[in-house]
Amino acid sequence: GVRPDEDLLEGLNRPQRDAVTFRGQALLIVAGAGSGKTSVLTRRVASLLRTKDAWPSQILAITFTNKAAGEMRERVSQLIGDRAQGMWISTFHSACVRILRREAEQFGFTKSFTIYDSGDSRALIKRLVKEHEADTYGMTPSGVMSRISKLKNELADAESYARSANMTDPAERIFVELFADYQRSLQKANAFDFDDLIGQVVYLFRAFPQVADSYRRRFRHILVDEYQDTNHAQYALIRELTRPPGSDAPPMAGGGGMMIFDAEPDAEDGASLTVVGDSDQSIYAFRGADIRNITEFERDYPGAKVVLLEQNYRSTQNILNAANAVISHNFDRKDKKLWTDVGEGEKIIGFTGYSQHDEAQFVADETEALRKAGIDYSQMAVFYRTNSQSRALEEIFIRSAVPYKIMGGTKFYERAEIKDALAYLVAVANPADEMAVRRILNKPRRGIGDVTETAIARYAADEGITFRDALANASALGVGPKIQAGIAHLDAVLAEASALMVPSTGELPPPTAVADGLQLLLSKTGYTDALRASRDPQDEARVENLDELVAVAREFARNNPEGTIVDFLTEVALVSDADDLEDASGSVSLMTMHTAKGLEYDAVFVTGVEEDLIPHRISANEPGGPQEERRLFYVGVTRARKRLYLSLAMTRAQFGEVTVAMPSRFLQEIPTELMHWRQSPGDVNSRGGTQSRALNARRGGPGSSGGFGGGGNTGRYGADLVPLPRRESSDISKFANRIPAKVRDNGDMELGPGDRIRHDDFGEGKVDLVTGEGAKRVAHVRFDRVGAKKLLIKIAPIEKL
Ligand code: ATP
Ligand code: MG
């Protein structure tokens, strides 16, 4: 008969089919870039559902970014229809947050714990470094932070580290104390840092076998994309989840004998595990990724099936040959060759600019030419090794009116005013988070200085209450009346916001509670007014950013009518670089090569292909560094479908100085016949060997008119450029498509029981009841497709039928 998943296998090659239809315990798919690893994983999920070998709720699929998760979910839905509901498709971090929110109470946290991002962790560590006087031993907050992070990725804690450390060394002792103190502070603040999200779930599973078992029974099929970049903690998590349920009853002394406690007769197997990866694309060793997770998979999961994919469906043969040639210079790899049947394609285009502006102008002009040739801007991407390289590209793109989006880079959520606003929300959601409360204590200015802050902390310690509760007792602090009034006001506003956003148990806050509460906090504390009153032009941009955040909260409410303040904070905390990609439609995407992982574009520009950039100069001293840089370059090159450009600049202004750049060694590793140089390094040099130095000298002088292109010896890319002011609100644009063009106002829509409406997301439904008044009117609607929902009439995307 015909397989129920026959249509899902259409167009797949033999090994791809094998991977999709395999039904054993462990499957490893190793393959080069663009060979369909992610596609196969997606189809495998669809096939498991279609053949009824799995219910949606039994599937846990792990992707590298939230965006990739969204795409996979959508693709599976397309393939099999709406049954994709209930599956867990997410990043490691999101999956672990979900588990922790359910289980936190088992080990001393509450559901509303805060997630500390790296900025938060650094702030906390900075304070502790000071308190422990660790700086006298040459420790810096960043140094301590990365050491702690590395240890956590190895699942080490302060105690286990101390056992292996040389504790006669005072610096080691201080570090151990600091690490332990950091962990205590997190626990006290009811907070997890990023590494904890994974590590604490592993801890939870090991400490509470019955909790682990409930997830082992639930997730019967686990699939992990980009497995080459998993670290030890992630590896351990997968190990825990794939054990047979009931398998970690405490080991019996002497072993054997007491079979009565062993597996029940109908013991289940562990979940089936599928991992896909490419060791040539392992680019996160610096963050603890361990390639052995892939190379030793067959040892860890005996009997695993291994599928190799070698046909590439993404790129032309020229692009693949270049990628193969470069990566074959890594000595520590198994040789594998990618091939394609789409043909040679165009040659790879090389370009050498005199300066990075010159290089950027070339890129901008080429994007224009490509667009005229029928390639959409959204199908073009420009990569660079470090974020700082985007500056020159942006300047030229703005001048040349080429629409672009920066992915990652200046991050919206790292801006001071956004962090302040989020700290206000955290202070409401998780009052135990002392750092959040301290952050907003004197923002805006309330006359609360260090002395008062210390007094509050001391009072809290003396009374055994939280810092937040100490605020509520301002009168007992013995501070001046003006300061006392300031504290009392802050306390009152926080309490008011809390009443709005965190209602008593069982009661559902209105969907707009988060946005309304945020607005209330920003206005009643006088935060926004203080910015408005400022003469600093940047403060205007800050107000815009805050408006943007409120809009993000409104949109969140629209998409998650029952989403709470904790859900909102979670979503914000887990936004990653790559997730900005969502709204790149109609513009060229600019990003680092790290962010580019897993993506593909018709045309790709890899810029700054110079020694000290790629390979980056910091890699020279790291063991395995240059190899990792080569893999990163390989990742960049293999993103291209049809057109690949490799460009560099002879001189580059960086870190405040102008340096003469050398072409990257990776360029020399590409066979010359694959490339067509529009302007080669030789062309540039032959125009006078001393030119670049002469140009450097001229660059600094303000008002130098001719600039790089002066002297009549350069082409159209020579014009010198006066740097443009940085656009303050440029990073707002990345939200442009996520936010409704205008916030809807149905304030005066007359609705009553029996009326029919149509909602943008939920479709048609019938109004059962209308409650509340004015701006707070709520329609209780029974939707034909999704059932009962409560909607705030004023802003819900609805129309009356
Ligand atoms: P990377 O290593 O970059 O993550 P990958 O191995 O995950 O790449 P995919 O992104 O799944 O590869 O696939 C690359 C491209 O090839 C996609 O556009 C995908 O749709 C296409 N593709 C994969 N398999 C086939 C096939 N059998 N027939 C046609 N196109 C395919
Ligand atoms: Mg992939």
Among 35, 316, 633, 635, the mutation site with the greatest number of ligand 1 atoms within 8 A of its Cβ is: 35
3-state secondary structure 508-557: CCCCCHHHHHHHHHHHHCCHHHHHHHCCCHHHHHHHHHHHHHHHHHHHHH
- Confirm or reject: Cβ of 282 under 6 Å from ligand 1: no
In this structure, are 94 and 137 located in the same domain? no
- Confirm or reject: Cβ of 229 under 6 Å from ligand 1: no
Ligand 1 atom with minimal separation from the 598 CA: 4
In this structure, are 425 and 338 located in the same domain? no
**Which tens digits make up the pLDDT trace of 455-473?**
899 999 999 999 999 988 8
In this structure, are 322 and 384 located in the same domain? yes
**Which tens digits make up the pLDDT trace of 339-349?**
999 999 999 99
Confidence (pLDDT) at 385: 94
- Confirm or reject: Cβ of 340 under 6 Å from ligand 1: no
Residue nearest to atom 8 of ligand 1 (CA): 34
- Confirm or reject: Cβ of 35 under 6 Å from ligand 1: yes
Residues with Cβ within 8 Å of 395's Cβ and at least 6 positions away in sequence, in order, are: 357, 360, 721, 723, 724
List the CATH number of the domain containing 44: 3.40.50.300
Ligand of minimum distance to the alpha carbon of 36: 1
28 and 294 Cβ atoms separated by less than 8 Å: yes
Q: Where are the alpha helices (DSSP H) in 373-449?
A: 390-399, 416-429, 434-440
Of 189, 221, 242, the residue at which a domain comes to its end is 189
- Confirm or reject: Cβ of 314 under 6 Å from ligand 1: yes
DSSP 704-743: -SSGGGGGGTS-TT----PPPPPPTTGGGGGGGGGS-SS-
In a domain, 726, yes or no: no
In this structure, are 323 and 430 located in the same domain? no
How close is the Cα of 420 to the center of ligand 1, in Å? 42
Q: Which residue range(s) make up the domain with 789?
A: 756-800
Among 18, 30, 39, 604, the mutation site with the greatest number of ligand 1 atoms within 8 A of its Cβ is: 39
Ligand of minimum distance to the alpha carbon of 40: 1
Among 310, 313, 320, 632, the mutation site with the greatest number of ligand 1 atoms within 8 A of its Cβ is: 313
Ligand of minimum distance to the alpha carbon of 314: 1
In this structure, are 552 and 460 located in the same domain? yes
717 and 707 Cβ atoms separated by less than 8 Å: no
Q: What sign results for the dihedral spanned by CA atoms 738, 739, 741, 746?
A: positive
- Confirm or reject: Cβ of 639 under 6 Å from ligand 1: no
Ligand 1 atom with minimal separation from the 42 CA: 11
In this structure, are 464 and 566 located in the same domain? yes
In a domain, 730, yes or no: no
How close is the Cα of 158 to the center of ligand 2, in Å? 36
In a domain, 466, yes or no: yes
In a domain, 594, yes or no: yes
Measure Cα distances from 453 to 264, 418, 572 in Å. Answer: 58, 22, 28
Measure Cα distances from 47 to 5, 7, 43, 54, 285 in Å. Answer: 6, 10, 6, 9, 33
Q: How far apart are CA 348 and CA 776, in angstroms?
A: 60
In this structure, are 558 and 440 located in the same domain? yes
In this structure, are 447 and 507 located in the same domain? yes
In this structure, are 573 and 588 located in the same domain? no
- Where the chain has pLDDT below 50, the residues are 250-266, 409-410, 581-582, 688-744
- Confirm or reject: Cβ of 12 under 6 Å from ligand 1: yes
Ligand 1 atom with minimal separation from the 12 CA: 27
In a domain, 263, yes or no: yes
Of 281, 309, 337, the residue at which a domain comes to its end is 309
H or E, element range at 603 = strand 601-606
- Confirm or reject: Cβ of 38 under 6 Å from ligand 1: yes
**Which tens digits make up the pLDDT trace of 623-671?**
888 899 999 999 999 999 999 999 999 988 766 667 888 999 999 999 9
Q: Which residues surround ligand 2, an ion (CB under 5 A)?
A: 37-38, 598
How close is the Cα of 708 to the center of ligand 2, in Å? 42
Residue nearest to atom 24 of ligand 1 (CA): 36
Ligand of minimum distance to the alpha carbon of 309: 1
Q: How far apart are CA 382 and CA 589, in angstroms?
A: 6
In this structure, are 120 and 173 located in the same domain? yes
Quick count: other Cβ atoms within 10 Å of Cβ 470?
Answer: 24
Residue of 466, 517, 479 whose CA lies nearest to 495? 517
In this structure, are 511 and 417 located in the same domain? yes
- Identity of the amino acid at 47: S
Measure Cα distances from 778 to 335, 522, 768, 772 in Å. Answer: 63, 25, 11, 6
In a domain, 737, yes or no: no
How close is the Cα of 563 to the center of ligand 2, in Å? 31
DSSP 748-796: T----TT-EEEETTTEEEEEEEEES-GGG-EEEEEETTTEEEEEETTTS
Confidence (pLDDT) at 213: 95
How close is the Cα of 33 to the center of ligand 1, in Å? 8
Tokens 């506003």 correspond to 493
Residue nearest to atom 14 of ligand 1 (CA): 34
Q: How far apart are CA 787 and CA 759, in angstroms?
A: 12
In a domain, 88, yes or no: yes
The total of structural domains in the chain comes to: 5
- Confirm or reject: Cβ of 13 under 6 Å from ligand 1: yes
Q: How far apart are CA 123 and CA 289, in angstroms?
A: 25
How close is the Cα of 62 to the center of ligand 1, in Å? 17
Q: Which 3 state secondary structure label does DSSP give 245?
A: coil
- Confirm or reject: Cβ of 519 under 6 Å from ligand 1: no
Mean pLDDT (the chain) is 84
In a domain, 721, yes or no: no
Q: What sign results for the dihedral spanned by CA atoms 171, 177, 178, 179?
A: positive
Catalytic residues: 37-38, 225-226, 281, 639
Q: Between helices 537-559 and 416-429, what is the axis angle to 10°?
A: 40
Confidence (pLDDT) at 767: 92
Q: Which 3 state secondary structure label does DSSP give 143?
A: helix
H or E, element range at 244 = none
Q: How far apart are CA 530 and CA 446, in angstroms?
A: 11
Confidence (pLDDT) at 584: 56
- Confirm or reject: Cβ of 598 under 6 Å from ligand 1: yes
Among 38, 45, 274, the mutation site with the greatest number of ligand 1 atoms within 8 A of its Cβ is: 38
Tokens representing 274 are 């599928």
Ligand 1 atom with minimal separation from the 278 CA: 2
Q: How far apart are CA 139 and CA 145, in angstroms?
A: 10
In this structure, are 333 and 422 located in the same domain? no
Ligand of minimum distance to the alpha carbon of 33: 1
Q: How far apart are CA 285 and CA 429, in angstroms?
A: 35
